[in-house]
Amino acid sequence: MAASEKTNSRSGRTRHPQSREGISADRWFAGRMPGTGPSPFIRAFQLRQLTGAAVFMFLITMLLQAPSCSSPESATPDSIREEIEDYRRQISEITRNIQLLEQELEQMGEAPRNNRALNVTVSQVERGPFENYIRINGSAEAVNDAMISPEINGQIRRILVSRGDRVNNGQALARLNTSVIEGNIEELKTSMKLARTVYERQRRLWDQQIGSEIQYLEARNNVESMESRLKTLEHQLEMAVLKSPINGVVDEIFLKEGELAMPGAPVMQVINLERLYINTDVSERYLPDIEPNGEVILRFPAWPDYEARVPVHRIGNVINPENRTFRLQLMIDNPDERFKPNMVASVGIRSFSAEDVVTLPSVLIKQDIQGHFVYVARQNGNGTWQAHKNYIARGAESEGRTIIENGLAEGDLVIVRGHNQVTEGIAIAITGSTS
């Protein structure tokens, strides 16, 4: 076969160097190197396109030759190895020409696109105080919460309030049926009239030394007994009215008019939300970290904007043998009533503090096979910046920040924005800094 032709050993096709399919990288780039191309204006445009064009032409060549792989019967190990070497030579030629084009771009004052610096934001390392808190969940409880039940049995005759009504201490909430008590009172009052008349007559006779003393004493005792019974019935009549023992809101009504109310069975619930207890069970190992009247940090997950330092109200005196915890109780004001009983609360108890340490946001710390590290920005001698790994030793962590025991010093620039995009040695451009 002629020297200008080359037969594909796997497909039998002949590739001509002059064709688009079989052209070598050197001949394709001929006339495109410095000093051999067209005018400077057109040359500048071509330089921006040739890198991608070279790779594109190589891929087209691969696709055009792909059918040769469809006939493995005609392939031999030697022909396959020869074709592989041919592709490797083409890749080497294209890579070399890409490097030449990149050098020419640098001479023209424009860096290749894949070498452009990545924009990042940095934060200068500083020392400062650090506090470590343990978080324990608790729940809210109303300081004043009353279940209203009657002192006597009776049928509910009338309910005087509705759910959501605000009531005052001593205000009537419901009335029981008192017809029997009222009938007994009227009957007793009638009997008392006769008893008083008999007593007055016996007293006058006794003053005149007429009659026996026993008759006089019996008449007086009868009157006093009836008066005592009348007071009892009148007190029972008062107990038939259910009154609120606190200022608050009627939260729930459990019975309806006409139903039977009994002592100990709640008829309604009145609650005052102006003050709340926060109860939590704390492991006994944290007992040394809690002081009477010491402060803890209180949060509510339902209100993420709320955070307050609250004094300890009470520390339990007994360890629960089942879970080895003790009761910790706080008390807070709740004037706007946004916190509700049984709402989940988060109590932060300080277990460690330091005054002068290096800390970083925990999210910046990464890990590889060598250990934990952060990316820092370092300036080269030519004034450019690069990202580099700084391996560190971590300490305590709390509230999303971690103590850095070693590996960083004051003044180091830690990459805080863009830290997920940078790699070791990549060129960066600092666009801002945070504290």
Q: What is the pLDDT of residues 151-185, one digit of tens each?
A: 989 899 999 999 999 999 999 999 998 888 888 88
Enumerate the β-bridge partners of residue 353. 131
Distance CA 431, CA 418 (A): 11
Select from 364, 363, 358, 311 the least CA-distant residue to 333.
Answer: 311
Best CA proximity match to 275, nearest among 140, 93, 122: 140
pLDDT digits (tens, 9 = 90+) for 74-103: 678 888 888 888 888 888 888 788 878 867
Tell me the whole-structure pTM to 2 decimals. 0.56
Q: What is the pLDDT of residues 358-399, one digit of tens each?
A: 989 999 999 999 999 999 999 888 888 999 999 999 988 888
CATH architecture of the domain with residue range 118-129+355-434: Beta Barrel (2.40)
Please state the rounded mean pLDDT for residues 293-297. Answer: 89
Q: Give the confidence band of 20 by pLDDT, cuts at 50, 70, 90.
A: very low
Please report, for the chain, the start and end positions of each structural domain, with discontinuous segments joined by +. Answer: 6-110, 118-129+355-434, 136-140+272-353, 147-261
The pLDDT, as a whole number, for residue 396 is 86
Instruction: Please tell me the CATH code under which domain 136-140+272-353 is placed.
Output: 2.40.30.170
Q: Quick one: pLDDT at residue 225?
A: 87
pLDDT at 109: 57
CATH number of the 147-261 domain = 2.40.50.100
Burial bucket for residue 75 (CB in 10 Å: 0-12, 13-18, 19+): middle
Dihedral over Cα of 281, 285, 291, 296: its sign: negative
